[in-house]
């Protein structure tokens, strides 16, 4: 059973901070997602393509589906018809493939640039230097069928709150730099996707605009 009391508190908190709550439903059954849906929640996140497609097909069509996990290029085509935001774009090649599949669907797909902010143990995301190089030298800003809406990051999995806070501050700083260097007049570049069940409070305090919360809503996996 989904924890609807936590859901309500999280929604309230997000309202106060003017942030979006993505309910991360990975591994959870349709019935539990419907419990959350029937409370009025419409934004859900998944991290596996097959599971995302299955759930999209079975659930009401006014759900906004976010792909939050690492995405392989050869699977983009399966979610391109319906996905509403892809959080983890971490290579130019992936951006290019999303652009290509979005064009086939006659859509503009919203994406976030994932930036590596954690310590060495986690592997995904652009390194800051590489991202700048990509924005300067690649064609990524010219793709017409993707809309780059901001950044996403994951803090180190640690009990050290100071470290987590410092990593979120770094992501916010990166967002500001990107905004002023490459996206000055683009009002859709506004999202900072950071914060999960264990660290969403710190993330909101550090200017997160979008938290991705799974276990605090759906229980442990």
Ligand X SMILES: *Cc1c(COP(=O)(O)O)cnc(C)c1O
Residues that bind ligand X (CB under 6 A): 24, 26, 47, 68-69, 196-198, 212-216
Give the shortest CB-218-to-ligand X separation in angstroms.
8
| Of 41 and 212, CB closest to ligand X | 212
CA-wise closest residue to 97 among 124, 78, 121, 115:
78
| Of 24 and 49, CB closest to ligand X | 24
For residues 178-212, b (16+ Cβ closer than 10 Å) or e, as one string?
beeebbeeeeebebbbbbbbbbbebbbebbbbbbb
Report the residue closest to ligand X, judged by CB.
214
Distance between CA atoms of residues 147 and 204, nearest Å: 24
Give the shortest CB-199-to-ligand X separation in angstroms.
9
What secondary structure letter does DSSP report for 140?
G
Residue appearing with tokens 């391109």: 80
CA-wise closest residue to 7 among 17, 19, 22, 18:
22
| Of 84 and 197, CB closest to ligand X | 197
Give the shortest CB-215-to-ligand X separation in angstroms.
4
| Of 28 and 172, CB closest to ligand X | 28
| Of 80 and 217, CB closest to ligand X | 217
Give the shortest CB-51-to-ligand X separation in angstroms.
12
Give the shortest CB-214-to-ligand X separation in angstroms.
3
Indicate the burial class of 43 (C-beta count within 10 angstroms; 0-12, 13-18, 19 or more): middle
């Amino acid at each position: 059973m989904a924890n609807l009391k936590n859901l309500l508190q999280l929604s309230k908190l997000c309202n106060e901070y003017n942030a979006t709550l993505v309910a991360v439903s990975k591994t959870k059954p349709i019935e539990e997602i419907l419990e959350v849906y029937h409370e009025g929640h419409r934004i859900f996140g998944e991290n596996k393509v097959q599971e995302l497609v299955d759930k999209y097909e079975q659930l009401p069509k006014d759900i906004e589906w976010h792909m939050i996990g690492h995405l392989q290029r050869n699977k983009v085509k399966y979610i391109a018809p319906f996905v509403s935001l892809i959080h983890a774009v971490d290579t130019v090649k992936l951006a290019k493939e999303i652009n290509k599949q979005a064009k086939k669907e006659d859509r503009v797909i919203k994406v976030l640039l994932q930036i590596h902010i954690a310590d060495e143990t986690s592997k995904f995301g652009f390194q800051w230097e590489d991202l700048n190089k990509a924005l300067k030298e690649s064609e990524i800003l010219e793709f017409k069928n993707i809309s780059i809406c901001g950044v996403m990051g994951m803090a180190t999995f640690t009990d050290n709150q100071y470290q987590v806070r410092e990593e979120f501050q770094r992501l916010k700083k990166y967002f500001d730099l990107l905004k002023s260097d490459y996206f000055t007049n683009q009002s859709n570049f506004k999202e900072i996707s950071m914060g999960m069940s264990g660290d969403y409070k710190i993330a909101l305090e550090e200017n997160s605009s979008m938290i991705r919360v799974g276990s605090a809503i759906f229980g442990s996996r």
